[in-house]
Chain A
Amino acid sequence: MERRIEQELEGLKGLLLTMAGEVERQLALAVRAVVERDDAAASAVIAGDVGIDQREIEVDRRIIELIVRERPLARDLRLVITAGKIAPDLERVADHAVNIAEQALLLNRQPPLKPFVIMPRMARLASAMVRDAISAFVAGDAAAARRVVAQDDEVDAMHEEIFRELLTYMMEDARTIPRALALLLIARSLERVADQATNISEQVVYLVEGEDIRHQRPEGGRD
């Protein structure tokens, strides 16, 4: 029996997938603005944020409609609740992309401090985590979601490494401080992006298994 609610839920998933794709592009563009010193890319990210905000509102509207019409229960209910929590996480990833783009605009007016080594890798990993978290949501794959959660420590380690390296620059030469701080803020944003992906993944585990795994991480976790 084809359930009517099935179509609605597929539609909701599709909308989140679209939003995730848009957010991912924003993030990629922001990273390009930094690594390739591309002002146009940075401006595009800042201008594009309105569209993401609109998407978030669209997701909310869709969710309210679905609850009113279909009164979802059990897994359907968890899916709707999960979607409602994922959308703000995605929106925040886009906000981090904007933060990164803003720092890029500052950095691009000055000579490069140092060649990028860890940052592009960190950006790739954080971005992949978001993508994988959303794929896990769409596929209802708790194992994949748990793998994303496990990657968060790697991103945290990179963040730590970047922090230490930039600290040595700042200690050696105070004139590097503004640029080093801008880079630090970028690294911080990327670290937060990975945190958002972790949030999403925890929600996916709840969706699939009905178990809440938030706030279970040993010391060193966020929150």
Chain B
Amino acid sequence: MTTAPAALRTRSLLAGFGSTAVLQAIDLTIPERQITAFIGPSGCGKSTLLRCFNRMNDHLAGFFRNGEVLVHGRDAYDPSFPLEELRSQVGMVFQKPNPFPQSIARNVSFGPRMAGVRDPAVLAELVEASLRRAQLWDEVKDRLHASAFELSGGQQQRLCIARALASGPQILLLDEPASALDPIATAKLEETILELSREVTIVLVTHNLQQAARVAHRTAFLYLGKLIEEGETAAMFAAPRERLTEEYLTGRFG
């Protein structure tokens, strides 16, 4: 499994805000076209780590970083790597669905339009393809011009995935994407994520250990800003190597 090419990689990554280091010396390799889950108690740094991969932390007050973040081998923080290009390669979906106050179709075509695509036929094709990949097409194909707010929470979240996919990312970052969804919508979202992982690398931050167990091929456990353990999910959840992981998984803290 680890022999798969690396989609993302950090080397001695240290990051934080103001005078507080949130991440300490993270060395992590995330293989291509697999789902990797980040788990750990609140404040362990998993969201900060996730946001390093598409530089979402940059505009936050007092953010600092040291060490490398490589996206398909390329330094994400290299000044010659345009941010727009990085973000089109590394898409992101957040905890709460955040559709734009526009139609379903325009939500999906937003990225490509921003990137300068004007041809309506091309845009229409992108909208359909992205909605299909997000497994939302069949549910919305007859109302593409309806407001995105008409969709249920789970559908909105899949719309956000479709919107991210429309820019053609090879990597998708998901920050607790199911935390606001009911079990059925969660199951549907997980199914979508699993299907997508055939073609896209997915990094998933989750508080739900069962969710990590269900969908993640690999899991990384973070605690107090350190990467404690990383490995195949089933192996880690059955027999973690580290005592801290053991204690977290069995609910002794966290």
Real binding pair: yes
Residues of A with Cβ closer than 8 Å to B? 1, 3, 5, 71-78, 206, 210-211
Q: Which of B224-254 contact A (CB under 8 A)?
A: 237-241, 245-246, 249-253
Cross-chain contact B240 with A1 (CB below 8 angstroms) = no
Residues on B with beta carbons closer than 8 Å to the beta carbon of A3: 250-252
Distance of A73 Cα from B239 Cα, bound (Å): 9
Among the interface residues B209, B238, B253, which one has the most CB atoms of the partner chain A within 10 A?
B238
Q: Mark B71-113, 1 if CB is under 8 A from A, else 0.
A: 0000000000000000000000000000000000000000000
Cross-chain contact A73 with B252 (CB below 8 angstroms) = no
Residues on B with beta carbons closer than 8 Å to the beta carbon of A72: 250
Residues on B with beta carbons closer than 8 Å to the beta carbon of A75: 246, 250
Q: How far is the CB of B243 from chain A (nearest CB, A)?
A: 10
Distance of A218 Cα from B246 Cα, bound (Å): 32
Cross-chain pairs A/B with CB under 8 angstroms, 22 sampled:
A1-B252, A1-B253, A3-B251, A5-B250, A5-B251, A71-B210, A73-B209, A73-B213, A73-B249, A74-B237, A74-B240, A74-B246, A74-B249, A74-B250, A76-B250, A77-B237, A77-B238, A78-B238, A210-B238, A210-B240, A210-B241, A211-B239
Residues on A with beta carbons closer than 8 Å to the beta carbon of B213: 73
Distance of A210 Cα from B229 Cα, bound (Å): 15
Residues on B with beta carbons closer than 8 Å to the beta carbon of A5: 250-251
Among the interface residues A5, A75, A206, A210, which one has the most CB atoms of the partner chain B within 10 A?
A75
Residues on B with beta carbons closer than 8 Å to the beta carbon of A71: 210
Which residue from chain B places its CB closest to the CB of A79 in the assembled complex?
Answer: B250
Residues on B with beta carbons closer than 8 Å to the beta carbon of A73: 209, 213, 237-238, 249-250
